[in-house]
Chains A and B, each alone.
Chain A
Amino acid sequence: AQKITQTQPGMFVQEKEAVTLDCTYDTSDPSYGLFWYKQPSSGEMIFLIYQGSYDQQNATEGRYSLNFQKARKSANLVISASQLGDSAMYFCAMGGSTLGRLYFGRGTQLTVWP
């Protein structure tokens, strides 16, 4: 069975600071991927970053990086130099090579304060 867990319902960070959003997963699929999406209050789901299970290096996309620890089954999102516009709900999701669907966590509400 596939499972994604986000244990932080809410996180607060001051502008320009870094923040880490936690995500752990469980899967029996040997080939899988972890995705992070951002959902602002407007509601759209915005893709941020992807990490494949066989990727040797941690993924980075601008201010976003993924701290992938395969042995611990964790895929934490790190946002550097937080901006007010980063305030949103963040979802971790997992897909498998044999799956169509994504499995989503319950999300973490990030609030960036000035």
Chain B
Amino acid sequence: GAGVSQSPSNKVTEKGKDVELRCDPISGHTALYWYRQSLGQGLEFLIYFQGNSAPDKSGLPSDRFSAERTGGSVSTLTIQRTQQEDSAVYLCASSVGQGLNIQYFGAGTRLSVL
């Protein structure tokens, strides 16, 4: 597609349930990033992929969070046993490579944990 695509756009779940968020990067972009934005806050880095490997996963807040990327393309962010503090907008971005390349963002997935 022309841009970064994220699905679902909105997700409402109950506390304790698992959720999967999907990101489809711009075709040809080898680097993919996940960020989280809580209400009225800046962006918090979660994890970044170069190809299928994750050189930096330092931002994952707990072991309930995991992410994978397959085929150098689509990535899935999984949150297990969701908590209310996980409620946020999860943003995915991609770039042609790591380093000083422009990151293009998707529209985000708004996660609400009840």
Interface residues of B in 93-114 (CB under 8 A from A): 93, 98-100, 102-108, 110
Report the minimum CB–CB distance from A35 to chain B (whole Å).
7
Smallest Cβ-Cβ distance to A92: which chain B residue: B42
A32 to B101, CA, bound (A): 11
A98 to B98, CA, bound (A): 8
Q: Are A101 and B48 in contact (CB under 8 A)?
A: yes
A65 to B97, CA, bound (A): 25
Interface hub of B93, B100, B103, B110 (most chain A Cβ within 10 A): B100
The interface on chain B, measured as residues whose beta carbon lies within 8 A of the other chain's beta carbons, has a size of 26
Residue B26 is within 8 A (CB to CB) of chain A in the complex: no
Q: Give the dominant DSSP class at B's interface.
A: strand
Smallest Cβ-Cβ distance to A109: which chain B residue: B40
Q: Are A97 and B91 in contact (CB under 8 A)?
A: no
A113 to B83, CA, bound (A): 40
A101 to B98, CA, bound (A): 8
A16 to B91, CA, bound (A): 32
A91 to B45, CA, bound (A): 14
Residue B55 is within 8 A (CB to CB) of chain A in the complex: yes
Q: A95-B100, A106-B41 are in contact. Are A101 and B56 (CB under 8 A)?
A: yes
Contacts of B33 in A (CB 8 A): 100-102
Q: Are A44 and B42 in contact (CB under 8 A)?
A: no
Which of B31, B41, B43, B102 touches A100 (beta carbons < 8 Å)? B31
Contacts of B104 in A (CB 8 A): 47
Smallest Cβ-Cβ distance to A49: which chain B residue: B102
A46 to B41, CA, bound (A): 17
Q: A50-B102, A100-B98 are in contact. Are A106 and B42 (CB under 8 A)?
A: yes
Report the minimum CB–CB distance from A47 to chain B (whole Å).
5
Residue B89 is within 8 A (CB to CB) of chain A in the complex: yes
Question: Interface digits, B14-44 against A, CB 8 Å rule (1 contact, 0 not)?
Answer: 0000000000000000010101000001110
